[in-house]
Amino acid sequence: MKTQVTFETPEHLREFFFAMLESLPGGILLADRQGNLLAANRKAAQLLDLAGSSLQNKTCWGLLSQKFGLTHELAALSASGGSLLCEMQALREGAEKRCILINRNDLQSPFLDVAGFFLSLEDVTFPAMMEMHLDRSKRFAAMQEMAEAMSQELKNPLGSLELYASILRRELAGDPDNERVAARMLGAVRTMHHLLDNFVTFSGFPLPRMEVLEMVALLKKNMETLREMAEEHGIFLESRIEVEQAYLLGDQTLLGQLLLNLGLNAMESMPAGGTFSLGLRILPPDREHGALVEIRVQDQGAGITPENRQKIFDPFFSTKGRNRGLGLAISHAIAEAHHGLIEVESEPGRGATFRVLLPAESGAGTGTSRKKDARADV
C-alpha cells in the first residue's frame, strides 16, 4: 500500500521541492532576488560541469561568467523572459563544445519573503536537438490528409486563373497602368501557386531525388527570385556568402523551396520594409558530426517570443494573424529529409535568425573560404 504524501513539516515540503527539481528534464539554477545561488539540479550540474563544486556564496552571474566567459552579454537575462545562447568551450581533453540556451523566469508568489528567479538550461547542440525535431515530425501526419484534399480542390481553378491573367497582361501591353495591374494579379497568382506547392509537398512529401549540389550557385539562383519579390515591398536583400563553393547531397527542387519559404517568411516579418540577409558557410567536422553546410536567413522583424519559438515549425501555427501557411513546417520537413535540421534564434523586437544545418558532401569541409561578402543587393 502506497503512503500518501503529506507536508506536515517544512522538511517534508523541502524534500518534495528538491525531488521535483531533480525530476525535471532540463537544467535549473534557482536564485534569490540578488542572484545568489540557492540550488542547482542534477541536469544543470551536468551541463555546467559542476560535479564536486560548492554553490555556497556564489551568484548565478559569477558562475555563468566563469563557465562561458561572459560579461555584458548577461544583461540579456536581467529581466523575466530573457534568453541567451551560450557556447561552452571544451573543459577537458576529448570533450566537445556545447551550445546551451538559458532562459530566465521570475518566481511568482503572494508571500513577500519568497522572491527570486530561476534559470532554465537546455542543451541545443546539434545531436541534442535531433530528438526535439523527431518529436515535431510526428505531429505532421495528422494534418496531411486534409492538406491533400485541399490541394486537389485548388489546383485546377488556380491553373486556369494564371492562364487568364497571362493572356490579360499580353492584351494590355500598350496600356502601362492596366498592364501594371495585370502584372500584380499574375504575381499574386504565382504566390498562391507557391503556397499550393507547400500544401502538395506537405500532403504527400516526395522522396528526395538526391544528387551532388553546389549550394553557392543554388543560393544565388534563388536570391534572384527573392530579390524581385522584395523590391515590391521596399525590402533589401543582403548576401553573406562566406565560401566559394559548398557541396552536399540534396534535391534541388526541395532545397529551392526551402530557401524561398525562409525568404518569404523574412519578408512577411517586415511589413514596413527593412533588410534581410541570406548567408552560407561551412562548419568544420568534430566528434559529434561531419562537416555541415549552414544556411542562415536573418531578418529585422518583430522577433519571436520564447513561448512561440517551439511552435513556429508546427503545421498551421502562425503569429501573423490570418496568414497560416505551411512555409516553416515544410522547411522543417525538407531539412529533416536531407538528414539535417533547422533552428531559430530570436528575441522580441530584435528580429530572427533561421539556421539550416545540412550534412556536407565528403570533402566540402575543406572547401575554399573567402572574405565575408556583405553587399546590399537591391
Burial of 70 (0-12, 13-18, 19+ CB in 10 A): middle
Asked, for residue 5, whether it belongs to a domain, the answer is no
What strands, in cross-sheet order, belong to the sheet with 292-298?
A: 341-346, 352-359, 292-298, 274-283, 235-243, 369-377
Q: Are residues 14 and 79 in the same domain?
A: yes
Q: Are residues 173 and 229 in the same domain?
A: no
Q: Give the other-Cβ count within 10 Å of 255's Cβ.
A: 24
Burial of 58 (0-12, 13-18, 19+ CB in 10 A): middle
- Domain encompassing residue 263: 208-377
The predicted structure's pLDDT at residue 370: 45
Asked, for residue 276, whether it belongs to a domain, the answer is yes
Is the predicted pLDDT of residue 378 greater than 50, yes or no? no
Tell me how far apart the alpha carbons of residues 242 and 220 are, in angstroms, rounded to a whole number. Answer: 13
Asked, for residue 3, whether it belongs to a domain, the answer is no
Asked, for residue 24, whether it belongs to a domain, the answer is yes
Asked whether 118 and 105 are in contact (CB, 8 A), the reply is yes
Q: Are residues 307 and 243 in the same domain?
A: yes
Domains held by the chain: number: 3
Identify which of 71-80, 174-183, 299-308 has the greatest average pLDDT: 299-308
Q: Are residues 80 and 160 in the same domain?
A: no
Is the predicted pLDDT of residue 188 greater than 80, yes or no? no
Share of the chain above pLDDT 90, in %: 18
| pLDDT tens column, 81-101 | 888 888 776 555 555 677 888
Q: Are residues 351 and 265 in the same domain?
A: yes
| pLDDT tens column, 315-343 | 777 666 544 567 888 888 899 889 899 99
| pLDDT tens column, 131-153 | 555 555 555 555 566 666 666 67
The predicted structure's pLDDT at residue 277: 94
The larger pLDDT score, comparing residue 374 to residue 170, is at 170
Mean pLDDT of 191-196: 68
Q: Are residues 217 and 192 in the same domain?
A: no
Tell me how far apart the alpha carbons of residues 310 and 331 are, in angstroms, rounded to a whole number. Answer: 15
Q: Which of 68-72, 101-105, 368-372 shows the lowest per-residue confidence on average (mean pLDDT)?
A: 368-372
Q: Are residues 214 and 359 in the same domain?
A: yes
| pLDDT tens column, 275-294 | 999 999 999 887 767 889 99
Asked whether 326 and 163 are in contact (CB, 8 A), the reply is no
Q: What is the CA radius of gyration of the chain?
A: 25
Tell me how far apart the alpha carbons of residues 314 and 339 are, in angstroms, rounded to a whole number. Answer: 19
Strand 235-243 to 274-283 pairing = parallel
Mean pLDDT of 333-355: 89
| pLDDT tens column, 201-251 | 665 666 788 999 999 999 999 998 888 788 877 899 999 999 999 999 999
| pLDDT tens column, 43-65 | 888 888 887 777 788 898 988 88
The predicted structure's pLDDT at residue 91: 56
Residue 125: name the closest of 91, 103, 101, 90 by CA.
Answer: 101
- Give Cα 122 to chain centroid, integer Å: 15
Asked, for residue 133, whether it belongs to a domain, the answer is no
C-alpha cell at 335: 531539412
Asked, for residue 304, whether it belongs to a domain, the answer is yes
| Domain endpoint, select from 72, 90, 124 | 124
Tell me how far apart the alpha carbons of residues 365 and 378 are, in angstroms, rounded to a whole number. Answer: 31
CATH number at residue 253: 3.30.565.10
Asked whether 178 and 168 are in contact (CB, 8 A), the reply is no
Residues in the chain: 378
Q: Are residues 217 and 366 in the same domain?
A: yes
Asked whether 202 and 333 are in contact (CB, 8 A), the reply is yes
Q: Are residues 270 and 336 in the same domain?
A: yes
CATH number at residue 71: 3.30.450.20
Share of the chain above pLDDT 70, in %: 72
Tell me how far apart the alpha carbons of residues 143 and 133 are, in angstroms, rounded to a whole number. Answer: 17
Asked, for residue 1, whether it belongs to a domain, the answer is no
Asked, for residue 334, whether it belongs to a domain, the answer is yes
Is the predicted pLDDT of residue 109 greater than 60, yes or no? no
Instruction: Assign 371 a pLDDT band (cuts: 50, 70, 90).
Output: very low
| Domain endpoint, select from 150, 179, 203 | 203
The larger pLDDT score, comparing residue 199 to residue 118, is at 118
Q: Are residues 19 and 165 in the same domain?
A: no
For residues 262-300, one letter each, b for 16 or more C-beta atoms within 10 angstroms of the residue's C-beta and e for the rest, the string is bbbbbbbbbeeebbbbbbbbbbeeeeebebbbbbbbbbb
Q: Are residues 164 and 198 in the same domain?
A: yes
Tell me how far apart the alpha carbons of residues 249 and 290 are, in angstroms, rounded to a whole number. Answer: 14
The predicted structure's pLDDT at residue 314: 78
| Domain endpoint, select from 175, 203, 231 | 203
Tell me how far apart the alpha carbons of residues 359 and 341 are, in angstroms, rounded to a whole number. Answer: 10
Tell me how far apart the alpha carbons of residues 34 and 30 are, in angstroms, rounded to a whole number. Answer: 11
The predicted structure's pLDDT at residue 276: 94
| pLDDT tens column, 250-273 | 999 999 999 999 998 999 889 888
Q: Are residues 314 and 255 in the same domain?
A: yes
Q: What is the pTM of this model?
A: 0.52
